[in-house]
Structure 1
Amino acid sequence: MTVIECAGDGRARGLAHGEQARELIHTALDRWRNATSARSREHLAATGLLATIEAAVPDLAEEMRGIAEAAGVPFAEILAYNFMDEQWWVHREHLELGCSVLGRSDVGGVILAQNMDLPEFMDGSQVVLRVLPESGPEALVLSSAGMIGLTGINAAGVGVCVNTLGMLHHSCAGLPVAAAIRGALVQSSRAAAADFLHRISHASGQHYAVADAHGLHGVECSATEIVVSCPAGSPLLLHTNHPLANGDIDPDAAHELERDGRTTDSRVRLEFLEEHVTSVLDLTDAERLLTDRTAPLCVTPRHGRRTKTFGSVAFDLGTLPPRARFCLGLPDRQPWIEPGWHSPRQHAEPTP
């Protein structure tokens, strides 16, 4: 497993990422360039997305600058690569649906897990970022080389998973999903992470699942609405790729996704989770469920669709330090690995 150690302020973390993963970043960007249009890549870098990052989480803008500098690639390309979801919805490139999320909270503890489904061309770029910021808890983040993050957990026991809601409205003045995830992972409790997600503007339709030892919280975010889909105290959190609470629907995107059967696929996966979640009692059960090929939760390209399960995560938030397990690739083919924590001094009792 490739673990990239990123310590210090934003620029230092980015330089470390770019230096350690330079070859992998070049390979990932080559495949991305071949699979996407130059027009969309250039446009994304010129939108207001960077300005929003610099206003809300400026250290993440510096982190991306550091990645570009150390890897020896144009900053505009690192920006556009990190605006992955926004490229999907602004320019309708690789307009696919994917990612299945499950959370369970009971007397036995709190579990949060997901499959992260991405365009097939991203396979092979998987890394885990070990983020050691100047202030705030250490984080372990599933990512693609060159990106600041896809989903993760921090040493304070806060886990954040995300799945795209492509039929919701987007905005080029909102915070891109990669920055929203990392901004939430700076927080020391589920409540603080949820508050962060409620306070920011959002660039694209997303569902965020946030959990700590005290429970679960789900929120569906679009360009104009932020709606709780799983209130605190709920025993279960299940989500795929259609909104359950947010009504800020983009009719053009909804029509396209319905026409191609992608929304139906999302509903089938959610029904499968609802049917089988009672069997999930621990991380092993969660990992086993994510390998399903019948719904399927574990996705490979099919019927002209180019989506593939890029990786999976399974977090046990009922322990301190929390357990964080990652699979870099298809969870029914690749091993699950537990990186462990570098800085036990940061493990403190999570704030309710």
Structure 2
Amino acid sequence: MTVVDCAGTGRERGRAHGEQAREAVRAALDRWRADVGGGAAGLVHTSPLPGTLRRLVPDLADELRGIAEGAAVPFEDVVAYNCMDEQWWLGRRHRRRAGCSVLGERAADGTRLAQNMDLPPSMDGTQIVLRLRPADGPEQLVLSAAGLIGLTGVNAAGVAVCVNTLGMLHGGPRGLPVAAVIRGALAGRTRQEALAFLSSVPHASGQHYAVADAGGLDSVECSAGGVVPWLAPGAGRLVHTNHPLANTDVDPVALEELRAEGRIGDSRARLDFLERAMGPSEGTAGLERLLEDDTVPVCMSGRPGWPMRTFGTVAYELGAQVRARFRLGLPGRAAWIEPGWTTAPAA
């Protein structure tokens, strides 16, 4: 199952996801339990995170319950699995930090936004694209893993969201988990609506959000301490990896752990390479080529001892047409796919 169609209310969308991808959801949860042990769901459910989901995004909370019902798996495990970024700071032993490199550019014919999504190798094989048709809101195409409500996506109104984990920024148990923030932003019909959502909610984890539409690019670095813009208004290009460029709400313990693991050096190397290599007008094909680099590497193929692998790559074109390309795996092993829209996207 590559493209999973989900329509209707949150509960209906979740059930469609769980039913169509049932075996993949079960396999993904089995791998997750093996990775993090039995304590992650308990940690999540003794925190305010589930209550924040129900209070701020009840439709998405219903979608999580629908996934559990459709796949016939424990609801508490689905909620905890969807708090992937939050599991690390809830319990330091649950280390599932993501990577990711994000590129964006403004051109005469619109805006392009692309990224590699880097996740633990155990998640490879669970890749799906969710084609979501909410009862109220624009259709969305979302890169995800079976059982997750989303990792990055674009909507038919021409708004795209890409992300980078910023694990050294402070997290907070009363914030909204990253997966729900992404989907909440994608409910916006304009870039400004998406940014307003990002600025209005408390954030459970440090994360960079790149938001684009045909009119341009925006970039905000979020933490429990607040939302800090990075790009200057009207900026023509965006390069971001996994360390903050503007937000100073740093947790010194987390920073030292990431530095000791080599994560800070890796993030800086990717940023430096991409800033040097990215030309003034790459086009979609050029951005995709940059994200295939295996020298730094930008594309992580699973080098020995490194806990991340490139799970998938996305490339969004936002102009006269709204196009989304997805590669569900590594270059040379997975082909690009371009799922169509069920409704005509906005020009």
TM-score between both structures, scaled by the size of structure 1: 0.96
- Tell me the distance in 2 between the aligned counterparts of 1:96 and 1:217: 24
Match of 2:167 in 1: 166
Instruction: Check if 1:90 corresponds to 2:74.
Output: no
Query: What SS is found at the alignment partner of 1:197?
Result: helix
Match of 1:266 in 2: 267
Match of 1:293 in 2: 294
Match of 1:81 in 2: 81
Structure 1 position 298, deviation (Å) = 0.5
Root-mean-square deviation (CA), in Å?
1.3
Deviation sequence 1:257-296 (CA, Å, 0-9, x none): 1122210110000011101111652211111111110111
- Tell me the distance in 2 between the aligned counterparts of 1:168 and 1:47: 19
- The answer (yes or no) to whether the contact 1:298–1:332 under 8 Å persists in 2 is no
Instruction: Check if 1:348 corresponds to 2:327.
Output: no
Query: What SS is found at the alignment partner of 2:153?
Result: strand
Instruction: Check if 1:36 corresponds to 2:32.
Output: no
- The answer (yes or no) to whether the contact 1:290–1:331 under 8 Å persists in 2 is no
Question: Measured at CA, do residues 43 and 144 of structure 1 come closer, stay the same or move farther in structure 2, by a change above 3 Å?
Answer: same
Letter in 1 for 2:91: H
- Tell me the distance in 2 between the aligned counterparts of 1:97 and 1:14: 24
Match of 1:323 in 2: 323
Match of 1:232 in 2: 233
Instruction: Check if 1:25 corresponds to 2:28.
Output: no
- Tell me the distance in 1 between the aligned counterparts of 2:111 and 2:117: 20
Structure 1 position 247, deviation (Å) = 0.3
Query: What SS is found at the alignment partner of 2:230?
Result: strand
Match of 2:201 in 1: 200
Query: What SS is found at the alignment partner of 1:244?
Result: coil
- The answer (yes or no) to whether the contact 1:279–1:285 under 8 Å persists in 2 is no
Query: What SS is found at the alignment partner of 1:230?
Result: coil
Letter in 1 for 2:173: C
Question: Measured at CA, do residues 304 and 99 of structure 1 come closer, stay the same or move farther in structure 2, by a change above 3 Å?
Answer: same
Match of 1:156 in 2: 157
Structure 1 position 300, deviation (Å) = 2.4
- Tell me the distance in 1 between the aligned counterparts of 2:133 and 2:97: 33
- The answer (yes or no) to whether the contact 2:172–2:224 under 8 Å persists in 1 is yes
- Tell me the distance in 1 between the aligned counterparts of 2:106 and 2:174: 35
Match of 2:333 in 1: 333
- Tell me the distance in 2 between the aligned counterparts of 1:264 and 1:79: 32
- The answer (yes or no) to whether the contact 1:89–1:95 under 8 Å persists in 2 is no
- The answer (yes or no) to whether the contact 1:120–1:308 under 8 Å persists in 2 is yes
- The answer (yes or no) to whether the contact 1:311–1:331 under 8 Å persists in 2 is no
Query: What SS is found at the alignment partner of 1:31?
Result: helix
Letter in 2 for 1:75: F
Match of 1:127 in 2: 128
- The answer (yes or no) to whether the contact 2:85–2:98 under 8 Å persists in 1 is no
Deviation sequence 1:53-99 (CA, Å, 0-9, x none): 11111100000000001111110000000001111232232254510
Letter in 1 for 2:151: L
Match of 2:310 in 1: 309
Query: What SS is found at the alignment partner of 1:343?
Result: coil
Query: What SS is found at the alignment partner of 1:278?
Result: coil
Which segment drifts farther, 46-55 or 186-195? 46-55
Question: Measured at CA, do residues 80 and 97 of structure 1 come closer, stay the same or move farther in structure 2, by a change above 3 Å?
Answer: closer
Structure 1 position 106, deviation (Å) = 2.5
- The answer (yes or no) to whether the contact 1:94–1:119 under 8 Å persists in 2 is no
Q: Which ranges in structure 2 are unaligned for 5 or more consecutive residues?
A: none
Which segment drifts farther, 303-312 or 162-171? 303-312
Letter in 2 for 1:331: P
Structure 1 position 46, deviation (Å) = 2.9
- Tell me the distance in 2 between the aligned counterparts of 1:253 and 1:303: 23
Letter in 2 for 1:286: L
Deviation sequence 1:203-257 (CA, Å, 0-9, x none): 0000000000000000000001210011331111110000000000000000011
Letter in 1 for 2:57: V
- The answer (yes or no) to whether the contact 1:10–1:66 under 8 Å persists in 2 is yes
Q: Which ranges in structure 1 are unaligned for 5 or more consecutive residues?
A: none
- Tell me the distance in 2 between the aligned counterparts of 1:95 and 1:251: 19
Which segments of structure 1 move beyond 2 Å, counting only runs of 4 or more?
Answer: 92-97, 300-303
- Tell me the distance in 2 between the aligned counterparts of 1:332 and 1:309: 12
User: Identity over aligned residues, as a percent?
Assistant: 57
- The answer (yes or no) to whether the contact 1:97–1:266 under 8 Å persists in 2 is no
Structure 1 position 37, deviation (Å) = 2.0
Letter in 2 for 1:25: V
Question: Measured at CA, do residues 137 and 328 of structure 1 come closer, stay the same or move farther in structure 2, by a change above 3 Å?
Answer: same
- Tell me the distance in 1 between the aligned counterparts of 2:342 and 2:334: 24
- The answer (yes or no) to whether the contact 1:45–1:77 under 8 Å persists in 2 is no
Question: Measured at CA, do residues 280 and 107 of structure 1 come closer, stay the same or move farther in structure 2, by a change above 3 Å?
Answer: closer
- Tell me the distance in 1 between the aligned counterparts of 2:202 and 2:244: 18
- The answer (yes or no) to whether the contact 2:171–2:204 under 8 Å persists in 1 is yes
- Tell me the distance in 1 between the aligned counterparts of 2:216 and 2:136: 25
Match of 2:255 in 1: 254
Deviation sequence 1:108-152 (CA, Å, 0-9, x none): 421100000001111110000000001110000000001100000
